[in-house]
Amino acid sequence: MFDRVLITSGPTVEPIDPVRYISNRSSGKTGFHIANEAKKRNISEIIFITGPTCYLPSEVRCIKVETAMEMRARVFENIENVSVVIMVAAVSDYKTPTYFPHKIKKNSEKMTLELEKNPDILLEIGIKKKDNQILVGFAAETENIFENGKRKLAEKNMDLLVLNEISKSNPGFNVDTNEVYFLTPGEIKKLPRMNKSDIAVNVWDKIFDIARDKKIYERQF
Ligand code: PMT
């Protein structure tokens, strides 16, 4: 059994002005089920760091954040001695460099919004990953899914990537079911469409398999 796991969930929200923001369609449902499944497996400490969502697991330490920068700060404050990190969150790739303190007025026909890249939290965790840690990421892709997925798996030093192909027939975001692939170094496995609670069961089963293969916590199996 793992002692301490860290799960991120939901979207991040990048404010533009007091009434507008950049975000995405993540509901937080997947992260919620991943945390609940961790509870069922008697993991003693679950750290749940989430962007704005109403899907908050009970009896779990929930840390609420808004922006990618806040999520990054809370992740690195809590990552010490964590055995498994599962980055379910759909982190905004970009943010506005300037926050406009007043509502932007619609004075011109066109306007350009400057954006700058957010740090990649998972990439940073991957660089610092220890041999006895397991790193799981999720990815939402709409094209060249395996090429992009394999690149992310390697670049971010993940042990498992849960890959969703986002399409009309599989929206992935804010629905109750999903069709995902498990990418590990050297293997791609397709899972049938299932409820997100069942995806969580499969993700945790796979994490325990990886722990066994990596001979992590051998005494506990
Ligand atoms: O919340 P739901 O409605 O249930 O939807 C679930 C989901 C579709 C959000 C989930 O299944 C999912 O795919 N989450 C990851 C979406 C995403 O951000 O994919 P990505 O390819 O942009 O990022 C890949 C990985 O890098 C992710 O683990 C992400 O957390 C991480 N990342 C990305 C950008 C960034 N700046 N920092 C990161 O850590």
| pLDDT averaged per 10 residues, the chain (length 221) | 93 98 98 98 96 97 98 98 97 96 95 96 97 96 97 98 94 96 97 98 98 75 41
Tell me the CA–centroid distance for residue 118 and ligand 1, in Å. 13
**Per-residue pLDDT at 217:** 64
**Per-residue pLDDT at 216:** 83
Tell me the CA–centroid distance for residue 140 and ligand 1, in Å. 6
Residues 6 or more apart from 218 whose CB is under 8 A from it?
A: 212
Measured CA angle at 126 (ends 44, 173), to 5 deg? 75
92 within 8 A of 8, measured Cβ to Cβ? no
The first and second tokens of residue 124, run together, are 């940073």
**Per-residue pLDDT at 221:** 41
Tell me the CA–centroid distance for residue 217 and ligand 1, in Å. 28
**Per-residue pLDDT at 145:** 97
205 within 8 A of 189, measured Cβ to Cβ? no
Checking 200-203 for CB contacts under 8 A at 24+ apart, the result is 200/30, 200/33, 200/34, 200/36, 200/37, 201/37, 203/34, 203/37, 203/86, 203/136, 203/160, 203/162
Residues lining ligand 1, Cβ inside 6 A: 26-30, 68, 87-91, 93, 118, 120-122, 137-140, 152, 164, 172-174, 196
Which ligand 1 atom minimizes the distance to the CA of 55? 1
Residue 19: other Cβ atoms inside 10 A? 10
36 is catalytic: no
CA 180 to chain centre: 14
**Per-residue pLDDT at 219:** 42
Q: Indicate the pTM of the whole model.
A: 0.97
**Per-residue pLDDT at 69:** 98
Beta bridge partners of 94: 117
Which domains occur in the chain, in start order? 4-93+114-218 (3.40.50.10300)
